[in-house]
Structure 1
Amino acid sequence: MLESWPNELGPVICVVGARPNFMKMAPILRAFAAYRPAIPSILLHTGQHYDRDMNDKLFEDLRLPHPDINLEVGSGSHAVQTAEVMRRFEPVLDEKKPSCVLVVGDVNSTLACTLVAVKKGIPVVHVEAGLRSYDRAMPEEINRVLTDQIADLLYTTERSAADNLAREGIATERVRFVGNVMIDSLLHNREFARSPAESIGNGGGNPALICGAAGYGVVTMHRPSNVDQANVLTSLLGVLREISDSIPLIFALHPRTKGNIERFGLSHLIDTPRMIMLPPQGYLEMLGLMAGARIVLTDSGGLQEETTALGVPCLTMRENTERPITVEQGTNTMVGRDVAAIRHHAVEILAGKGKSGRLPELWDGRTAERIAEDMASWLLARHAGSNG
């Protein structure tokens, strides 16, 4: 075993840009630090997610070190944001001369940093590769497809991802099935999760409402396809209100959703004590809410995985998913925007007939360790080859 990392082999620049990236990067950085010899890394935050208070809370909750570099790009259109990340990232590569750039997930920062690195001849590693919804109307799908095409090393969360990559002509030797780092974070942090009563109390709700025999459900909804059209949002809020007659619902209200409820004059649909409106929740608060729920209704990608890991029935209000394993093996059911389907499956779950599911292969909390071990070998082999 090496006693130390070769001096001429630069650090790994680890890129985060938005909330989902933080949960994926935290276990990887821990694994890099624990590997022997420790893998040198630089944590770079593009600033795509620009709410400073939420950022600070997420870093604290995940015990993630504060970024070594923050590009502070802020908000903007997809084009503006992507271009600004690229413009500010290039000088960092020139200065730090990394051995590679590691990106996670499918946000704009993922693609932007990948493009810059590849054009400068710097290898790129993509964690959570090969997921496909086959819906090109989703910006995340474009980011995923393009990042995978030009990345050098691709780590997948489920075996079906390799088939997606093979259909796109990506060589199998670039692909490694390692498991899901999101589950590493969940298992590592579950003991620190905040109690649902605490979250409700802090949000101004009545914690006593969730103490009844019925328990409670959790709702998140933010995708434009669900919240940007008045008729769609009206029908979804209507069926959620119906469900709340049977079980109290805790709704972590995304700013986009809140704004559209007000803009479309739909506040009366959520004006019931049976629907508890909370502001966006921190990671540990959301983990506590999900772990204690009887049902989760969402359009989030990450929550599909987390509910599967927690064994909580999930109804996903989308027409497609890039995480099919959560449906095939987990607790997830796709219901789209079909009010009748949402109502039917909610009734089934509350009657005790929800999917129990099982934990998918390699969702064992050790994915980051596998990534660190494989990356160390890969980088040292590349280094040896370049000096041979």
Structure 2
Amino acid sequence: MTRHKEALTTILATALTVVLTTTSAHAFGVGNDKKPSNGTATGNAGKNGTLSASVSNIQVSYPSGGDGGGKKGNLGTVDPNWEPPACWYEPAFTSEQLKKFVDTDSGGDVGIHESWWGKGLWTDHYRDGKPAENFDLHSSKNSVAEGYKDYNLGKDGYFWRGVAPDPDADDSWDCGRIMFWVDAGELPDDPNFPTSKTLAEYSYDKVKVPDTEVELKPAAKSTVNLPTWVWLDKGTFKDVKVRAELPNTGLWAETTAKPIALHLEPGTKDAEVFPASGDCKINDDGSIGTPYTKGSANETPPCGIRYLRATDGTPYHLSASITWQITWEGSGGTGGDLPDGTFETTQDMNVQEIQSINR
């Protein structure tokens, strides 16, 4: 994203060394010795870990559905207008950690759109109390941050910094404040402070669902005008739960994806699907459709396809997409729904002209 000339001019006028960037400049940040309560941690925070304004300190674990082998993939949302949060603020340093960082390194992201290398802002603003310009360019007023004395040493709390998974996103400028202080046990007085819902929405693209082909009869090769039965055995798809925790805030959320339907697209207009909508509901026992049994070749399956034209050397691409219902619960008794997710797999289908077959 092109940087605003006004902001750049302000920086140059202060005669401070600055680099404006949206790449991953690094700064040492807050650690958290406590693992998420369930599953395996996959977050980016660590006791001596690194942080950048494009990498969140949120820790992610999988209480259920995240283990096991096989291919897995991310969900797509059924709501084209839904987007996860573009940015939010989260703890980055205690006062002692910031002083140590400035004394030993002092090169990294002080905000989403501002990185400083060398002393400059780190000492002028956070040690010597000088005011500094913010970069919340979507704000209704030109925001100036008051300075701090000696990094707020002796105070209990954290310096918070903006985080944006995509710093080039236009809405990431909403979190353009440079790093600021928040007392322990409090959340920032800012419309973009994180909530448990923020964590739930952050977890949406962390949901990994299995890439499993549906069961077919006949398998891989169907026959014109005879139905192909489609089903998934119970237990093939299980609920997937993702837990997200933001260290040093008490905020957490668990996002659950539950399979609720299978949708079939035969890969050609010369076909009928059962039911006509192509939507096969999940049965009470967790299965989808009904397995084929001997002698059912001419029956209409509750979930299936009848191809009306044979393939001619090029197979049809049968598409099977699972709809996943997404709900969440979080700290403070919060919870709700997020847009349903979908995950699609395809498999080749060859169709022959034989009008009858012994199954």
Q: Relative CO higher for 1 or 2, CA cutoff 8 Å, sep ≥ 6?
A: 2
Report if TM-score (shorter chain) is over 0.5.
no
Q: Highest Rg: 1 or 2?
A: 2
TM-score normalised by the chain length of structure 2:
0.23
TM-score normalised by the chain length of structure 1:
0.22
Higher strand content, 1 or 2: 2
